[in-house]
Amino acid sequence: MKNILITGGAGYIGSHTAVQLVEAGYNPIIIDDLSNSEEKVLDRLEDIIGKRLTFYKGDCSDRGLLDQIATEHELAGVIHFAAFKAVGESTKQPLKYYQNNLGSLVALLDFMKAKQIKDLVFSSSCTVYGQPEQLPVTEATPRQDAESPYGNTKKICEDILVDFVKSQAGIRVISLRYFNPVGAHPSGKIGELPIGTPANLVPFVTQTAAGIREKLTIFGDDYDTIDGSCVRDFIHVMDLADAHVKALDYLKEQQEDFYDVFNVGTGNGNTVLEVIRTFEKVNRVKVNFEIGARRPGDIVKIWADTTKINAILHWYPSYSLEDSLRDSWNWQKTL
């Protein structure tokens, strides 16, 4: 059974990916400093998977700890989720973001080269496309100047990976550009755990429906979209998790010094208002919302062209928006 190191594996996307890795016959080993997650996720994972995953609490840029892990386990690959991700916070504390998001990647690459660990899947984001001129966006759509320090860290990380692969370090890398991950494990045992006020739409919707937040504000209803609210491509986290398994399987068959990038979305755009209405319908609950002013810097509409990931990784989403919103509500009720 191949050991895969998952940095940030106690977090939202990492924990769901751990489940899918086990399902596919891999053995995930988690390193997480719990800066944005809780150790009880490990208990929840044990409930779902039926076995305790190996967990190291610590910073994934701590070389001493990485070396210890490599001594204790033969690692076949790494999935690098660990990063700070709050766009708003990144504009106020950019150095915190540059230090963690860039520093952890550089440290990991150095470690992988030293230990001859070949395969890496990196968490990138559709944020690299900025405000796209053409829709849907393909992987060839030019990247734009980042709208935030957070977005810039994703762009720079992609550049670091390209340069590192060019240096013939002997590694094989896939960057997955996630669109908007939503939903939770269908069991309701794991899901997104926003600390403080949620920065993403769906946790805000579920918290408002649960009465934790009084009201949800929609930022603008006068954009050039079917109902005036912004459009995103909402992808169920289980489908997203599955893309990582497909990426690892594919990397194994590639030559050394390989780099590629894939969009991971459904290929469909939905407006913010459609999400709220669908949420209300599938869960039979009301969401108290109001229309507010446009928010500066918001991307008006973006969704993925998924032709490349369909054709090359043979990955297709299997969950609908309804499934995602049902699972998100189920998770909120567990919380």
Ligand X SMILES: NC(=O)c1ccc[n+]([C@@H]2O[C@H](COP(=O)([O-])OP(=O)(O)OC[C@H]3O[C@@H](n4cnc5c(N)ncnc54)[C@H](O)[C@@H]3O)[C@@H](O)[C@H]2O)c1
User: Contact positions toward ligand X, by CB under 6 A?
Assistant: 7-8, 10-14, 31-37, 59-61, 81-83, 85, 100, 104, 123, 125, 178, 181, 200
Nearest CB to ligand X, comparing residues 97 and 250: 97
With respect to ligand X, which residue has the nearer C-beta, 36 or 141?
36
Rounded to the nearest whole angstrom, what is the least distance from the CB of residue 194 to ligand X in the complex? 9
Position with the least CB separation from ligand X: 11
What does the chain come to in residues?
Answer: 335
150 catalytic residue (yes or no): yes
Among all chains, which residue has been given the structure tokens 């076949």?
A: 76
Catalytic residue among 26, 129, 150, 259: 150
Q: If we measure between CA atoms, which residue out of 207, 176, 228 comes closest to residue 329?
A: 207
- The smaller minimum CB distance to ligand X, of residues 61 and 270, is found at 61
Contact 244, 121 (CB under 8 A): yes
Q: Please report how close the Cβ of residue 59 comes to ligand X at its closest, in angstroms.
A: 4
Task: Report whether the peptide linkage leading into residue 181 is cis, meaning its omega lies within 30 degrees of zero.
Answer: no
- At its nearest, how many Å lie between ligand X and the CB of residue 27? 19
Q: Which is nearer to ligand X, 158 or 260 (CB)?
A: 158
Q: How far is the CB of 192 from ligand X (least distance, A)?
A: 7
Return d(Cα 95, Cα 112) in angstroms, integer.
Answer: 25
CA distances, 91 to each of 151, 193, 253 (Å): 10, 22, 40
Beta strands in 67-154 (DSSP E): 75-80, 119-125
Q: At what angle do helices 272-283 and 321-334 cross, to 10 degrees?
A: 70
Q: Which is nearer to ligand X, 36 or 229 (CB)?
A: 36
Smallest gap from Cβ 142 to ligand X, in A, equals: 19
As a whole number of angstroms, the distance between CA 19 and CA 156 comes to 29
Mutual orientation of helices 12-23 and 237-252 as an angle, nearest 10°? 60
Cβ atoms 169, 118 nearer than 8 A: no
Residues assigned a catalytic role: 150
